[in-house]
Amino acid sequence: MALADSARGLPNGGGGGGGALRGGARSHPQQPELAASAGSGVGAAFPEIVELNVGGQVYVTRRETVLSVAGSLLWRMFSPADASALPRDSKGRFFLDRDGFLFRYILDYLRDQELVLPERFPERSRLQREAEYFQLPDLARRLAAAAPPRFSALLRDPSVCADDPPAGLAYLEAELPEAGVSASPTSSRSPSGGPLLAPSLSLDAGGGPGGRRSGYITIGYRGSYTIGREAQADAKFRRVARITVCGKTALAKEVFGDTLNESRDPDRPPERYTARYYLKFNFLEQAFDRLSEAGFRMAACSSTGTCAFAPEQGGLADDKIWTSYTEYVFCRE
């Protein structure tokens, strides 16, 4: 009875076992063809969401994003219908042996064809090389146009080696003096005979905008505070023993003036650097105000800390003493 019920939907009215065999004979030759198709990779299409392993960094994006610039390397890699030819890592992600950090900017460009980089981006030349590798000519041109002139390009620029160099630009005497003509007393050369760069005018008096020097100043301090059993209720606030000043001597004296204690490094020339100055006051905010008034802005900071129980320091048994060392880097262009 079960055999008859299962044969009702077969062609020819399901006429017994012969009809079942005929139906099976018609479908059986297709199976080797399907197996061959699977083995050849046909049908292994790209997914809509693509996972990329670029130099160990994993990125997830849409396939239409990597196809957004026609003719690029990624466009040629992900255009075919067959995805089996591309290399993959152990987790099945498409693998690209390139700089994984810089690829984020390549991917951002592919999303909207705009170039947006962080302020003072230091990897511009390397990113241009990546753009050329991925065959993104428009991105490579933008990076090349926005790049600052290289030192060798300045040497080839006639205006740099002119008799009257532009204001604010360090002067180089790139040509050797002719035979019988003495060198200029202001020229500077290395022992091998090559030109040396004169001290930057931007770090001398009057070199920056409005006559200001440009450079960096680092403020450091070692502070401590105590937390008792009742946490914040018993907190003894920050104690700063000394605020140190590191940087160029002339810059430090300009910013802090008479509040700068030079007793540990009294004879330092103005154009030399020091790490032995400290301030006569212990308020960080006062130092910040002076730096801000002088046109400096904070560029970076870092801090480390340790914790010790107060009995080891002669305090109460339940108190904890936290000690930290912090540095703030300020910059003025």
How high is the pLDDT of residue 33?
40
Identity (one letter) of the amino acid at 48? Answer: E
Whether the Cβ atoms of residue 315 and residue 321 lie closer than 8 Å to each other = yes
Q: Nearest-5° angle of CA 123, CA 129, CA 133?
A: 140
CA distance 309 to 170: 56
3-state per-residue secondary structure call for 297-313: EEEEEEEEEEEEEHHHH
CA distance 168 to 152: 18
Query: Would the pLDDT of 321 be above 80?
Result: no
DSSP state string for 161-182: SSSSPPTTS-----SPPPTT-P
How high is the pLDDT of residue 131?
94
How high is the pLDDT of residue 322?
77
Name the residue with higher pLDDT: 72 or 43: 72
How high is the pLDDT of residue 228?
61
Lowest mean pLDDT among 88-97, 135-144, 304-313: 304-313
How high is the pLDDT of residue 266?
83
3-state per-residue secondary structure call for 91-121: CCCEEECCCCCCHHHHHHHHHHCCCCCCCCC
Name the residue with higher pLDDT: 323 or 174: 323
Query: Would the pLDDT of 184 be above 50?
Result: no
- Per cent of the chain over pLDDT 90 is 39
Please report which confidence band the pLDDT of residue 316 belongs to, taking 50, 70 and 90 as the band edges. Answer: low
Give the model confidence (pLDDT) of 79-137 as tens digits. 887 778 899 999 999 999 999 999 999 999 999 999 889 888 888 999 999 999 999 99
Query: Would the pLDDT of 59 be above 70?
Result: yes
Residue recorded with tokens 């063809």: 33
Which of 146-155, 159-168, 322-331 has maximum average pLDDT? Answer: 322-331
Give the model confidence (pLDDT) of 197-232 as tens digits. 444 334 444 445 556 788 999 999 988 777 665 555
How high is the pLDDT of residue 80?
84
Cβ contacts of 56 within 8 Å, gap of 6 or more: 100
Name the residue with higher pLDDT: 270 or 234: 270
CA distance 224 to 236: 9
Whether the Cβ atoms of residue 280 and residue 256 lie closer than 8 Å to each other = no
Cβ contacts of 270 within 8 Å, gap of 6 or more: 248, 249, 250, 253
Give the model confidence (pLDDT) of 19-56 as tens digits. 443 444 444 444 444 333 333 344 468 889 999 999 99
Query: Would the pLDDT of 235 be above 80?
Result: no
Which strands make up the sheet holding 49-54, listed edge to edge?
A: 57-62, 49-54, 94-96
- Per cent of the chain over pLDDT 70 is 60
Residue recorded with tokens 């910059």: 331
How high is the pLDDT of residue 195?
45
Report the chain's mean pLDDT, rounded to a whole number. 73
